[in-house]
Amino acid sequence: MSRPEHIAPPEIFYNDDEARKYTDNSRITSIQAEMAYRALELLNLSEGPKYLLDIGCGSGLSGEILEEEGHIWVGLDISSAMLDVANEREVEGDLFLQDAGQGVGFRPGVFDGCISVSVLQWLCNADKTINRPKARLQRFFSTLYASLTKGARAVFQFYPENDDQIELIIDVATRCGFEGGLLVDYPNSKKAKKYYLCLFAGQQTGIKNQMPKALGEDGDLHPDEERSIQYEKRGHQYKKKSRDRKSVKNKEWINKKKRIAREKGDKPVANDSKFTGRRRKVRF
Ligand SMILES: C[S@@+](CC[C@H](N)C(=O)[O-])C[C@H]1O[C@@H](n2cnc3c(N)ncnc32)[C@H](O)[C@@H]1O
C-alpha cells in the first residue's frame, strides 16, 4: 500500500471526505487514542493540569486524550477540513490552521510539553522543490524548541519510511538544541511496533534527562496480541477435540452401535464381519 504522504500534500489528502472517514473509523480512533496516551505518558509531566501543544491535531482525536487527562491544549493543523471536524466535535482545545513546516508561531517558553501523533513523516515529504524537507524540519524544530519551557519534552509518534528519514529527523532536532532520541515500543511485533521520538528541550534544574524505557523490549506482548494468542489456543483445543471424536469410530465402537440397534430392532443392521471398522483407502 502506498503511503498517504506519497499520494498528495496533507492539506489536499485530508479533504472533507477523508477527514470524516478518518474520524468515523472506530479502528483508527482507538489506535490514535492509544498512541496519544502513550505520548502523554512519555512526556513524564508532574502532577496537575499543564498547557500542552498538539502538532497536527487533525480532528482532535489526540487532543481529546489530553483534555480527558485534565490538561489544556492548543492544536495546530495544515488541513482546514480536519479542523472543521474538530470544531464540529466541540473539542476544548484552541485550534490553529498552520503549516508546522513554516514554524510554530507561539510566544517563547509557553508550553509545558508537546505531543504529535502520526504527523512527523508528513514533514519529510515536500510537494515542491522549494519546500526542502530539511529546511522545513529545521524551522519546525527550532521554533518548537523556543515555545517550550526549559526541560519540557516533545514526543512524536510517527511512521518513518526508512532509516535515513530517522537519521535526518534526529540530526535536525539535535542541531536545534533538543536532546533525546528514538524509542521503539514492541520492537519484535509486526502489528504493535510503534516509533516515538522523545525530545528534551534542555534540562530541568537538578534532573538529568533519561530516555524512557520502551514497552515490549523484554519480549512482553502487546495486550491485543496476548488476547489473540488465547483465542488461537482455544481454537486449537476445539479442533483437537473434534479430531479425537472422529478416531472413536473404531471396530469396537461400530460393534457397540450395531448391538444397540439390533436390541432396539427398529431398523435392519448389517452383519458383523472381519471387515467391520477397517481402514478404507482414500478414493480420488
Ligand atoms: C494521521 S492524521 C493525525 C491526526 C491526529 N494527530 C490524530 O491522532 O488523530 C495526520 C495529521 O497531520 C496533519 N499534518 C500533516 N502535515 C502537516 C503540517 N505540515 N503541518 C500541520 N499539520 C500537518 C494532517 O493535516 C493530519 O490532520
Ligand 1 pocket, mutate which of 23, 99, 121, 122 (most atoms under 8 A from CB): 122
Report how far residue 147's alpha carbon sits from residue 145's, in angstroms, rounded to the nearest whole number: 6
* Cell numbers linked to 145: 524548541
Specify the ligand 1 atom closest to the Cα of 32.
Answer: 8
* Cell numbers linked to 252: 469396537
Residue 120: domain span: 4-219
Q: How many domains does the chain have?
A: 1
245 belongs to a structural domain: no
198 belongs to a structural domain: yes
CATH code at 155? 3.40.50.150
Specify the ligand 1 atom closest to the Cα of 23.
Answer: 9
264 belongs to a structural domain: no
274 belongs to a structural domain: no
Which residues, in sequence order, are bridge partners of residue 200?
A: 153, 179
Q: Are 55 and 74 in contact (CB under 8 A)?
A: no
pLDDT digits (tens, 9 = 90+) for 40-78: 999 999 999 999 999 999 999 999 999 999 999 999 999
278 belongs to a structural domain: no
Distance 137 CA to ligand 1 centre (A): 15
276 belongs to a structural domain: no
230 belongs to a structural domain: no
Supply the pLDDT for residue 216: 93
Q: Is the CB of 123 under 6 A from ligand 1?
A: yes
250 belongs to a structural domain: no
Supply the pLDDT for residue 192: 94
Which residue, 110, 190, 173, is CA-closest to 139?
173
Task: Note the helical H segments in 44-132.
Answer: 61-68, 80-88, 120-123
Distance 78 CA to ligand 1 centre (A): 7
Stated as kind and residue range, the H or E segment containing 77 is: strand 72-77
- The model carries a pTM of 0.81
Residue 275 CA from chain centroid, whole number: 61
Supply the pLDDT for residue 241: 64
Mean pLDDT in residue range 242-262 = 74
- For residue 280, is pLDDT > 70? no
pLDDT digits (tens, 9 = 90+) for 132-161: 999 999 999 999 999 999 999 999 999 999
Q: How confident is the model at residue 208 (pLDDT cuts 50, 70, 90)?
A: confident
Nearest CA to ligand 1 atom 10: 119
